[in-house]
Amino acid sequence: MHSVDDLLAFVSEAPSPYHAVAEASRRLVAAGFTELELAREWGDGAGPSFVIRGGALVAWSVPAASTVSSGFRIIGAHTDSPNLRVKPRPDTGAAGWRQIAVEVYGGALWNSWLDRDLGLSGRVAVRGHADALLLRVDRPLLRIPQLAIHLDRDVNGSGLNLNPQQHLTPVWGVGPVSEGDFVEFLAAELGGVPPADLTGWDLMVHDLTPPTLLGRHQELVASARLDNICSAWAGIEALISSAPSAAGSAVQVVCLFDHEEVGSTSATGADGALLAQVLERSVISRGGGRDHFIQALAGSLCASADMAHATHPNYPDRHEPGHHIAIDGGPVVKVNASQRYATDGITASAMIEACDRAAVPHQVFVGRNDQACGSTIGPLTAARLGIATVDVGVAQLSMHSARELCGADDPPRLAAALGQFLLP
């Protein structure tokens, strides 16, 4: 069985989508996968391989019994999480404080970012470097101080009201605003790169509290970015463990997309062309053509792996009463008749059978009729590629908080079930 401690290690190495991809690629290389370049020829395409584009990664393994028209078994997840991202002109401040201008990314629970010690991570474009440089500052650098209760006497009764433009700007020092200060800081952190050579960045803040086991018997996981680094970890674990013993002919694929939290419409998102292009090239590199690719898609199946809502003990009325979802109750198959999830009866059965083969329990989620649910990459992948898809994930609380909570048993269970899903 896969280890929850390994999940904690993976999350620790993944404060940004770019770091998540770097850690996934490191593990794939150690398992015998080869990185290919999107802009180069791929040879015969038979060996276990992967490609990277920004914060996205696609990896695949071709069983010996595969043909050019064999279907794909795909696990899709995403590397991004709701957070705060540094604006292009970051130097700002007020009332004698030096601050960093940030932009809200995704549907973050804003209050959860207050009064936390925050680091900085992402990538920086540097003149003369073909690839952006990874940056990770894992020390207390930024903080968003909440207004004292003495100045907001009604906060506990009427609720906290935050304006994202006014109230989410972190402080990082005192004194007058100095234009260019942030760039000089980045240059120093990158080992003395000339500040004038920094031409752009994709940087975000991250919570510095390490992921940990929590609870009376350490039966819970408390961590940042469980949504959706937990699923990304499970997908990579499933591929690495299943590829060497792949039975049947289905090509095993894991795709870690970026930008799911903001709609997936990007060059690295599920609503873009990346996965389709990689899958078709994998067919072509093995001697197939366009018709073989279309045949392969018709015989394919995708598992969209994203976190699920556990029934909240303090808000049970927000959940469908006939579908209680328990922490550590097993992977959750997610259903929505309006296609916010792509699951249907047939694809649900495929995932349930995978859970059975992995000897793990499963649950089925559906939302209340009077409450809208979220969505995933599942419907997008199903629509773009015409692939039957099931949505599945680990039950959690505090979704989209700076720090989230799930059970300690379910992430390894999801990895085991996804491993079986890859072996039809």
Task: Please check whether residue 406 is in contact with residue 221, taking contact to mean a CB–CB distance below 8 angstroms.
Answer: yes
Q: Is position 67 within any domain?
A: yes
Are residues 232 and 265 both part of a single domain? yes
Are residues 341 and 301 both part of a single domain? yes
Round to whole Å and give the CA distance between 78 and 259.
8
Are residues 110 and 188 both part of a single domain? yes
Q: Is position 273 within any domain?
A: yes
Dihedral Cα 348, 60, 252, 329, nearest 10 deg = -40
- Tell me how many degrees the CA angle 181-185-189 measures, rounded to the nearest 5: 170
Are residues 386 and 251 both part of a single domain? yes
pLDDT in tens, the chain (424 residues): 689 999 999 999 999 999 999 999 999 999 999 999 999 999 876 789 999 999 999 999 999 899 999 999 999 999 999 999 999 999 999 999 999 999 999 999 999 999 999 999 999 999 999 899 999 999 999 999 999 999 999 999 998 999 999 999 999 999 999 999 999 999 999 998 999 999 999 999 999 999 999 999 999 999 999 999 999 999 999 999 987 666 678 999 999 999 999 999 999 999 999 999 999 999 999 999 999 999 999 999 999 999 999 999 999 999 999 999 999 999 999 999 999 999 999 999 999 999 999 999 999 999 999 988 888 999 999 999 999 999 999 999 999 999 999 999 999 999 999 999 999 7
- Quick one: how far is CA 38 from the chain centroid? 22
User: Which of 207, 240, 272 is the last residue in one of the domains?
Assistant: 207
Are residues 183 and 263 both part of a single domain? no
Are residues 281 and 394 both part of a single domain? yes
Are residues 254 and 335 both part of a single domain? yes
Are residues 65 and 175 both part of a single domain? no
CATH number of the domain encompassing residue 180 = 2.30.250.10
Structure pTM? 0.97
Are residues 87 and 76 both part of a single domain? no
Give the domain range for residue 187. Answer: 83-207
CATH number of the domain encompassing residue 300 = 3.40.630.10
Q: Is position 215 within any domain?
A: no
Q: Is position 411 within any domain?
A: yes
Q: Is position 376 within any domain?
A: yes
Are residues 298 and 373 both part of a single domain? yes
Q: Is position 218 within any domain?
A: no
Are residues 117 and 149 both part of a single domain? yes
